[in-house]
């Protein structure tokens, strides 16, 4: 995919430090080996160095000796990170004993490294659940200025080039926030616009989706979406956004002419924002399976520094792509 190649080129030109807490996980290690070989990122693996090297040898990997390996149990900055963790969580009553225990957890350690400026982004989740990957990131790295909600976008590559941006879409939120209110939905739209620009190389045209188009039905659910539209417009007056729109009115120009002729995005939306996580998660999986689209993600958006969660069923290619995308998010976050 041409878009992913562009992300590879940008990452190579401005190498970022990506921490991989699951340092012994075979697909992660294989992807890390390729990332190093291709010169895409500086890789930091968390785990016991001897065990990681033995696993790399078993997998026949040739470049893992160029990665930085940090043993969570035994490294020079353990106390400094423990103190930072206590400081960040003191309002939540974190004790020294709790911090001592958590600082050796690679998922917490990775976030503490990012927070300290010792890494630029994190990729995990080939082994751990979504909740376990996200919780430390939400607690420690938190959201970027101006946003309070983290969400998960998918890059959707449809074989049907007449839709979206030559078949390319961003779908959100498909992964994180179960039932966003109108404010949160507006923020998800704003974060998706950032993703469209920084990863998707396109100017966003955002549709806030529902089961009604411009007042064709009425309910509290639709009110949430129209309210989100107003809030997003206030947050980013120049953004091309509209809602509420049905999915067909959002992406099919003939239907847009009938249902929403005045809309600046109807018929040509390339970013689809779903009213809640149930809809978003079901929609992307159906488009992937029944529509034969390729779905890359979830790409976590709205975080102060990029952390991405892999599916436990991921392939080596998936890990490679997500690391590359994380590099691009890190580059964008520094601008």
Residues that bind ligand ACO (CB under 6 A): 92, 130-131, 134-135, 138-139, 143, 149-150, 175-178, 281, 298
Q: Which helix (H) or strand (E) holds 34?
A: helix 26-37
- Nearer residue to ligand ACO within complex by CB, 20 or 133: 133
Q: How far is CA 303 from CA 111, 136, 192, in A?
A: 12, 12, 12
Q: How far is CA 292 from CA 33, 158, 178, 201, 246, in A?
A: 30, 7, 26, 22, 21
Report, in Å, the least distance between residue 59 CB and ligand ACO: 26
Strand partners, 205: 240
297 and 152 Cβ atoms separated by less than 8 Å: yes
Report, in Å, the least distance between residue 264 CB and ligand ACO: 28
- Nearer residue to ligand ACO within complex by CB, 70 or 191: 191
- Nearer residue to ligand ACO within complex by CB, 106 or 302: 302
Report, in Å, the least distance between residue 183 CB and ligand ACO: 12
Report, in Å, the least distance between residue 315 CB and ligand ACO: 15
- Which residue is at the shortest CB distance from ligand ACO? 138
- Nearer residue to ligand ACO within complex by CB, 22 or 33: 22
324 and 40 Cβ atoms separated by less than 8 Å: yes
- Nearer residue to ligand ACO within complex by CB, 83 or 248: 83
Q: How many CB atoms lie within 10 A of CB 271?
A: 29
HSE, side-chain direction, 13 A CA sphere, residue 159: 7
- Nearer residue to ligand ACO within complex by CB, 147 or 252: 147
How does DSSP classify residue 144? P
275 and 185 Cβ atoms separated by less than 8 Å: yes
Task: Please tell me the distance from the alpha carbon of residue 111 to that of residue 241, in angstroms, as a whole number.
Answer: 33
Report, in Å, the least distance between residue 333 CB and ligand ACO: 16
Report, in Å, the least distance between residue 137 CB and ligand ACO: 8
Chain centroid to Cα 333, Å, comes to 13
């Amino acid at each position: 995919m041409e878009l992913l190649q562009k992300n590879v080129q940008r990452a190579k030109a401005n190498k970022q430090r990506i921490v991989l807490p699951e340092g012994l996980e075979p697909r992660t290690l294989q992807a890390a080996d390729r990332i190093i070989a291709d010169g895409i990122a500086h890789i930091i693996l968390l785990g016991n160095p001897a065990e990681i090297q033995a696993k790399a040898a078993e997998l026949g990997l040739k470049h893992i000796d160029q990665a930085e390996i940090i043993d969570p149990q035994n490294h020079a900055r353990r106390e400094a990170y423990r103190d930072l963790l206590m400081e960040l969580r003191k309002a939540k009553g974190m004790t020294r004993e709790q911090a001592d225990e958590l600082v050796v957890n690679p998922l917490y350690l990775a976030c503490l490294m990012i927070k300290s400026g010792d890494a630029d982004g994190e990729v995990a989740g080939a082994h751990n659940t979504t909740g376990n990957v996200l919780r430390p990131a939400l607690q420690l790295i938190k959201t970027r200025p101006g946003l309070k909600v983290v969400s998960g976008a998918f890059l959707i590559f449809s074989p049907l080039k007449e839709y979206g941006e030559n078949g390319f879409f961003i779908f959100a939120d498909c992964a994180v926030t179960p039932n966003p209110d109108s404010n949160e939905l507006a923020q998800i739209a704003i974060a998706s616009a950032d993703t469209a620009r920084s990863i998707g190389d396109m100017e966003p045209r955002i549709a806030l989706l529902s089961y009604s188009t411009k007042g064709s039905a009425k309910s509290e659910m639709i009110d949430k979406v129209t309210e989100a539209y107003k809030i997003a417009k206030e947050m980013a007056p120049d953004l091309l956004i509209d809602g509420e729109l049905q999915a067909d009115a959002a992406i099919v120009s003939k239907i847009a002419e009938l249902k929403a002729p005045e809309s600046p995005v109807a018929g040509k939306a390339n970013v689809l924002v779903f009213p809640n996580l149930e809809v978003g998660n079901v929609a992307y999986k159906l488009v992937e399976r029944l529509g034969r689209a390729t779905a890359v993600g979830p790409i976590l958006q709205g975080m102060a520094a990029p952390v991405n969660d892999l599916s436990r069923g991921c392939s080596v290619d998936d890990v490679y792509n997500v690391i590359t995308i994380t590099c691009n998010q890190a580059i964008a976050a520094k601008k």
